[in-house]
Chain A
Amino acid sequence: MREPAQCAAIVGAAEYKPRRFSEEIAESSLEQAADLALLALDDAGLTLADVDGIAVRGVYVSQQFLPATLAEYLGVRIRFGDAPDLGGATAAGMVWRSASAIERELASVVLCIYPGNFPPRRSGEEGWRDFGASSYLPGSPQAQFEIPYGHLGQNVPYALIAQRYAAMHEYDPRAMARLVVHQRRNANLNPDAIFHDKLLTEDDVLASPMIADPLHMLEIVRPVKGGAAVVVAGGDVVARTRHRPAHITGFGEAVAHKSPQWADDMLDPPLRQAAATAFAMADLTPTDMDGAQIYDCYTIAVLMALEAVGFCEKGSGTQFLRSRDFTHAGDFPLNTNGGQLGFGQAGGAGGMTHVVEGYRQVAGRCGPRQVDNCDTMFVSGNGGIMSEQVALILQGGP
């Protein structure tokens, strides 16, 4: 058992209200990173003078040297710099790396920052070689054995996982639609969510176009522009901050593959190991959680995460989706800010929204969507195609 007070904590957060994907952003990603840093520090009641660590991604002014670039820009000298490369698990990965650095006294206040824009696309003759997360560079296995067959992007591989799941276990599109609707109800209580004003029914989800069988359009995140940051702190600093801290008492990470086509078992995501590591560290179990913020780029990702974490038995996820109440006041509060399905996915910062909401729930700062007596929160990150996954357990301070 790790005493929460002895663990590093998230002590502040900032998150941009999502903007439409088509909107041009005037500021550079470096300016946004600095802005998010100042907002998050202010939220915590700290200043730049307190900062001695930076974890950052989503800054596109250069392809490398990200912590150094941002440290120089902010005018801080740091003792810990990191730029994890974990796709949608990057934000959660930043948090546990920062917590570890703090616990080993390498740093005391680490900014975890992810401006939520998108890398500039190549255009013209070069542009056709851009296949998003799939690499067409020489030497890439994807350039030889996946992309030529049209196996690229996210929709197809997630659909392949869902179809396999459907063949092996109970699968019900309406249960998936119910999950999307519950998350939408959470989004309807969150004025920042991109779908705040839009009500949704299960029939709407099932009537939305099929994108890649069995996945419908409304089971898939909507890309937006945004960005978020959190401040992770430890030691005496925590007592100087403004809000109830969310201590990081458990964490775990696992990476299984790049493309699920090569997974040993497509239905055994690395989150199973990551969550087991996290719960063992915190000496807690899934039933101890007051809620969960689960990376939800696709409904199938949530279904599989619920099983992998141990919130329900393997193969029983559909029954779980059918029977539990995922709204903030329900018996299993899930993705209480709307999740990415309801809030929007701000590029790589999509994973940060789960961290921010997990923190805000434990800190008791969620207003009309606040989970009552929220002392524990499970947060997951998911990069690639359920390739690289991170689990965090947050616990409130006294």
Chain B
Amino acid sequence: MQGAPPVVDEISRPWWDALSRHEVAMQRCSDCASWVFYPRPFCPSCGGRSLTWTPVDAVATLYSWTVARVPVSKAFAHLEEPVLAIAELANGVRLPTVIQDAQPEQLSVGMALKPVFDETAYEGFTLLYFRPAQPEPA
């Protein structure tokens, strides 16, 4: 087994469905306007249960990053030193993610990122990766 595909549940299915259309959608609380992520049946900010799936612009900044020089587990041993990161969206939500198309030397916390809709990791799933918005000239 390579990697570990997402174990999807009903509450989060709209997230995965949006990604498969190369879009990003998140829950937003109808009561207090907070963004809710990861998906839940309620709003952790106010306890409200009225949430609406809302499109989100997936432009982000790099909150932190590392390179897994040693595989994180046997299931991920096929990956060659992946850059693992946290991306922060403009709405404040942070996402565990993978950075593509970048050497570690190019990375700096706060840099602008663009979304990458990855369909290679797991069959039938689109994952939300990121890459630098302005790659260094080759």
Residues of A within 8 A of B (CB): 128-132, 136-141, 143-153, 155-156, 159-164, 166-168, 209-215, 259, 261-262, 266
Contact = CB atoms under 8 A, between A and B. Distances in A.
Contacts of A138: 7, 9
Given A160-B86, A163-B109, A261-B94, A150 B3 contact: yes
A167 B110 contact: yes
A55 to B, nearest CB: 31
Interface string B59-94: 000011111111011111001001011100000001
A148 B118 CA distance: 12
Interface string B89-111: 00000111110000010001110
A258 to B, nearest CB: 11
Interface residues of B, number: 41
B64 A151 contact: no
Given A152-B76, A156-B84, 5 more contacts: A128-B75, A131-B73, A156-B72, A209-B70, A211-B70
22 contacts: A128-B75, A130-B73, A131-B75, A132-B73, A136-B4, A139-B9, A143-B6, A145-B6, A147-B4, A148-B3, A148-B5, A150-B82, A151-B84, A160-B64, A161-B64, A163-B109, A168-B109, A210-B69, A211-B69, A214-B66, A215-B66, A261-B86
Contact of B74 (A128, A147, A262): A128
A164 B94 CA distance: 13
A315 to B, nearest CB: 15
A388 B49 CA distance: 28
Contacts of A162: 66
B12 interface: yes
B46 interface: no
B24 to A, nearest CB: 13
Contact of B66 (A137, A139, A147, A159): A159
Contact of A266 (B64, B79, B95): B64
